[in-house]
């Protein structure tokens, strides 16, 4: 529960007397008229909408517009805007000047006016929540603003974690990743990038099914949570998403259509999709707020969503979103990260890479199209790619704040399947079950390049020196080199590059 900072500063808030608020607002306006320079103090605290009396808000806004504050300039500005009679005319303005409140108190009175405005909003939101329509995002924002306003009377030790509060922080249960090496232990945003036809959406679906059913995504992996999964797609229709999930279910550990149908919710293009749900297909500020509130509502009802697939960044972002603008990207993805943290759900955001992506940006964090902030903001980044000469394999590169950078090779179809088909994702060891020994492949006094090792692994020889080894053999050679280099291998360097490998013994 949020600490009640207002109680620390002198007791909980209560509904104020209307006349008290009215006098506070008049005191702010009078202080500015008497000492015009004090308007800078008020600007840092108050907006015109914070005034409970509409005429007071109009006067405050007019004071902010005039080049030089005086009774005459204020009257002229209100007359120009057609608001003079509505605020009570010249007598009402003159009465404010006669109020004679010290300008030195403007800031103090402005804070009290601001607090009353926020408390009015807090009560309105509470009434709305009581009627079954909570706006949790706005409630959190108002609470934060109230805390920030009251924090002026607190020291940093009351605001931060120290002493008993720090000990409480240490006693919290340690979170556990649902899929170590792929998901951070704390719920957050994951950006999954890849070229077209790499299988990004399918990979997300291959995680969604076992997540919903409480199964392993592949052999050796832990059992996933068995909580709800939301598949939010502006790329595909609802019919196509369902068809994809049903097809993939045949290749899961225990196919069961009825089991996951109760746990997976699809929000995607369809003529019968309710207008409210359709709003989430554009994740602008309103769409993200709706996503947040609906996820929280289900969590409060005891049916939480643990995984949300967002397909895709380019389709779900608002029309004016610029993927190359680092500022826009950071703000937008930070909004999604906040949804993940507040709703305690992992958000998997699919992001497309171009066909001609820069080879130098092939790592997980730098792979996506657009600003580098796309992956950098997220606690975890994936990039999925084809394996050269192996159409039935994919390689997934993973990196994150709490996840070691790694590469994982997946089989996506059997040898009997059509090339290009993606039927499942099964984690494989590129070395197979019979990992070769360095002594079997590299002679005692022999230096060997990785390509030469790949040819040797494949049991074949190139017909031409320019021929490249097959993708699978290249993958196995790379894995062998990585496995050996800790104890058994040394590199032969030439002009700053490791060009050959040799046994240490």
- pLDDT tens digits along 24-73: 898 899 889 888 888 888 888 899 999 999 999 999 999 989 888 888 89
pLDDT band at 432 (very low <50, low <70, confident <90, very high): low
Q: Say whether both 262 and 337 belong to one domain.
A: yes
Q: Say whether both 377 and 466 belong to one domain.
A: no
First and final C-alpha spacing in the chain: 63
- pLDDT tens digits along 250-305: 998 889 898 899 999 999 999 999 998 999 999 998 899 899 989 988 988 889 99
Q: Say whether both 232 and 277 belong to one domain.
A: yes
pLDDT exceeds 60 at position 449: yes
Which two structure tokens, joined as six digits, stand for 44?
Answer: 């840092």
For the ranges 83-92, 242-251, 304-313, the lowest mean pLDDT is seen at 83-92
CB atoms within 10 A of CB 9: 14
More confident residue, 372 or 198: 198
Q: Say whether both 213 and 308 belong to one domain.
A: yes
433 falls within a domain = no
CATH number reported for the structural domain that contains residue 227 in this entry: 3.40.50.300
pLDDT band at 186 (very low <50, low <70, confident <90, very high): very high
- Euclidean distance between CA atoms 246 and 418, whole angstroms: 19
Query: Residues 214, 192, 425, 209: what is their CA dihedral angle, to the nearest 10 degrees?
Result: 30
- pLDDT tens digits along 149-175: 776 655 677 667 888 878 888 888 888
pLDDT band at 469 (very low <50, low <70, confident <90, very high): confident
Residue 344 neighbours by CB under 8 Å, 6+ apart:
187, 299, 304, 306
pLDDT exceeds 70 at position 16: no
> Are the beta carbons of 454 and 476 closer than 8 angstroms?
yes
Residue 23 neighbours by CB under 8 Å, 6+ apart:
none
Which two structure tokens, joined as six digits, stand for 199?
Answer: 């299988």
Q: Say whether both 329 and 249 belong to one domain.
A: yes
Q: Say whether both 264 and 405 belong to one domain.
A: yes
**What's the predicted TM-score (pTM) here?**
0.62
Q: Say whether both 363 and 483 belong to one domain.
A: no
Q: Say whether both 366 and 490 belong to one domain.
A: no
**Three-class SS of residue 40?**
helix
- Euclidean distance between CA atoms 190 and 175, whole angstroms: 17
Per-residue pLDDT, 11: 35
- Euclidean distance between CA atoms 71 and 418, whole angstroms: 83
Q: How many domains does the chain have?
A: 3
Q: Say whether both 285 and 318 belong to one domain.
A: yes
Per-residue pLDDT, 430: 58
- Euclidean distance between CA atoms 224 and 239, whole angstroms: 26
In order of 405, 429, 431, 474, 502, the CA distances from 483 in angstroms are 16, 12, 10, 14, 14
Residue 231: phi and psi, rounded to 5, are -110, 100
Q: Say whether both 457 and 370 belong to one domain.
A: no
DSSP conformational letter for 224: P
CATH number reported for the structural domain that contains residue 31 in this entry: 1.10.860.10
Enclosing domain of residue 257: 189-428
């Amino acid at each position: 529960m949020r600490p009640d900072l207002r109680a620390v500063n002198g007791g909980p808030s209560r509904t104020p007397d209307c006349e008290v608020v009215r006098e506070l607002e008049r005191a702010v306006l009078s202080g500015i008229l008497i000492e015009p320079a004090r308007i800078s103090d008020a600007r840092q605290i108050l907006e015109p909408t914070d005034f409970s009396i509409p005429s007071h808000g109009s006067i405050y806004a007019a004071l902010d517009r005039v080049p030089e504050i005086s009774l005459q300039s204020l009257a002229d500005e209100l007359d120009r805007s057609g608001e003079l009679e509505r605020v009570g005319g010249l007598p009402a303005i003159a009465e404010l000047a006669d109020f004679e409140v010290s300008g030195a108190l403007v800031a103090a009175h402005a804070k009290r006016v601001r607090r009353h405005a926020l408390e009015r909003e807090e009560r309105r939101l509470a009434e709305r929540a009581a009627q079954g329509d909570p706006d949790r995002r706005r409630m959190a924002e108002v609470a934060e603003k109230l805390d920030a306003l009251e924090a002026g009377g607190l020291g940093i030790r009351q605001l931060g974690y120290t002493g008993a509060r720090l000990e409480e922080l240490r006693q919290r249960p340690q979170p556990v990743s649902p899929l170590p090496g792929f998901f951070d232990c704390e719920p957050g945003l994951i950006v999954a990038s890849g070229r077209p036809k790499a299988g990004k959406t399918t990979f997300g679906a291959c995680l969604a099914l076992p997540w919903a059913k409480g199964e392993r995504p592949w052999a050796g992996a832990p059992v996933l949570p068995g909580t709800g999964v939301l598949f939010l797609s502006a790329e595909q229709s609802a019919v196509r998403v369902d068809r994809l999930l049903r097809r993939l279910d045949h290749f899961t550990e225990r196919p069961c259509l009825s089991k996951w149908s109760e746990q997976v919710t699809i929000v995607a293009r369809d003529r019968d999709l309710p207008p409210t749900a359709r709003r989430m297909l554009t994740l602008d500020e309103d769409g993200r707020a709706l996503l947040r509130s609906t996820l929280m509502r289900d969590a409060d009802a005891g049916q939480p969503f643990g995984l949300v697939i967002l397909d895709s960044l380019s389709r779900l972002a608002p029309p004016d979103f610029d993927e190359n603008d680092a500022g826009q990207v950071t703000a937008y993805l930070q909004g999604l990260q906040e949804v993940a943290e507040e709703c305690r759900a992992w958000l998997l955001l699919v992001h497309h890479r171009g066909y001609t992506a820069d080879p130098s940006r092939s790592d997980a964090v730098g792979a996506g199209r657009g600003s580098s902030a796309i992956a950098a903001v997220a606690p975890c980044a994936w990039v999925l790619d084809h394996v050269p000469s192996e159409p039935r394999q994919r390689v997934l590169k993973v990196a994150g704040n709490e996840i070691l950078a790694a590469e994982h090779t997946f089989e996506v179809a059997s040898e009997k399947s059509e090339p290009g088909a993606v039927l499942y994702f099964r984690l494989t060891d590129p070395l197979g079950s019979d990992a070769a020994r360095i002594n079997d492949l590299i002679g005692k006094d022999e230096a060997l390049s990785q390509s030469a090792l790949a040819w040797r692994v494949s049991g074949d020889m190139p017909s031409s020196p320019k021929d490249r080894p097959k993708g699978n053999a290249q993958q196995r050679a790379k894995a062998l080199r990585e496995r050996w280099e800790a104890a058994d291998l040394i590199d032969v360097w030439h002009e700053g590059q490791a060009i050959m490998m040799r046994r240490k013994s």
